[in-house]
Amino acid sequence: MSGFFEAVIDIFTSESTYINGALFAGFLAFAASGELVAERAGTINISVEGMLLGGAFTSAVGYHLTGSTIAAMAAGVLGGVIVAGVQAEMSHRLSADQFVVGLTLNILVFGLAGFLDNELEPDTELASRWEVPVLSDIPLLGQALFGQRWPFYLLYLLVPFTWWVLYRTRWGLELRSVGENPQSADVSGIDVNRRRRQSIYYAGLTSGLGGWFLIFGQIGLFEDSVVGGRGFIAIAAVIFGGWTLRGTIAGCVIFAGALSFRLSVQGLGYEVNSELLQSLPFIVTLAGMAVFAHRVRPPAALAQPFVRGLK
């Protein structure tokens, strides 16, 4: 038993645990912040996995063609928005089932990215590291929060911007209203399906940034398995957080902690069943969903298609 506690202490006093945790949480936060906006509008954006992968692939191609990380970021956003466009138009203009569209898009993007990656073999590299003076010297958390590669710092703008857009703008108010009572919003003159499409485009934008961040801020190369199901963890973080921004970010941190724990156990040389370690993030996600999902209230019209004149 004493050996177990020593191992836990080693893990939680290792700086790499916090650095990896911040990277994983950051990646999830890019996707989850946009997913929160989409779900507050009453949509379930299952295709966030495809948006992340699409953004990762197009950002890799953008860098391969231009050699510019900024151009790669723009290409990543474009990739995420293209996938979002298909989801939005199919689900909230043509009234196709949003779950079926999302799952189909995930499979389609995975296949296309794998095929085109083999054909193009884009070259990528990690972005430069920026250390914030003084703050990066804080024990344990300094390097994790203020000593990362520069794409990480966009989160310090994106998260407050998402809060402002969702809670302090007319657009955000209208968006939340169509997620709660789309019939009343429609009577008030709000184009419900248009707002829902816009929310999905926002999710595509942030997920495209997340895919770009994954390549240039965390991994440094593209593979078709690079996202690895973490788009679904981002969706779980929104539900875990009770459809609030601070709860969503807290969910990202908790689920990222499980991912970081897995790497730290291996990095420190402890022998633990590898299959169990691989499944640990998803076990924690399921456990979190089981404990908290029934304690929070989702938007009243979540996942309900809107047709004018029908209740």
Q: Residue 109 sits in a domain of what CATH number? A: 1.10.3470
Q: How many CB atoms lie within 10 A of CB 133?
A: 7
pLDDT value, residue 258: 82
**Domain-located, residue 311:** no
Tens-digit pLDDT string for the chain (311 aa): 444 456 567 667 778 889 999 999 999 999 999 999 999 999 988 999 999 999 999 999 999 999 999 999 999 999 999 999 999 999 999 888 999 999 999 999 999 999 999 999 999 999 999 999 999 999 989 999 999 999 999 999 999 999 999 999 999 999 999 999 999 999 999 999 999 999 999 999 999 999 999 999 999 999 999 998 899 999 989 988 889 999 999 999 988 888 887 777 666 566 665 666 667 777 777 777 676 666 678 899 998 888 775 55
Whether residue 98 contacts residue 39, with contact meaning beta carbons closer than 8 Å, is answered with no
Can you tell me the distance from the alpha carbon of 176 to that of 62, in angstroms, rounded to the nearest whole number?
35
Whether 304 is in a domain gets the answer no
Q: Which domain holds residue 237?
A: 2-295
Residue 292 has a pLDDT of 65
Does some domain include residue 30? yes
Domains of the chain: total: 1
Burial class (CB in 10 A: 0-12, 13-18, 19+), 225: exposed
How is residue 301 annotated by DSSP? T
pTM above 0.85, yes or no: yes
- pLDDT at residue number 285: 73
Which residue in this structure is represented by tokens 């690895």? 228
| Residue 122: burial class (beta carbons within 10 Å; 0-12, 13-18, 19+) | buried
Calculate the alpha carbon distances from 52 to 66, 88, 111, 145, 310 in Å: 21, 16, 14, 22, 34
Asked if residue 8 is part of any domain, the answer here is yes
Alpha carbons 146 and 154: distance in angstroms, whole number: 12
310 found inside a domain: no
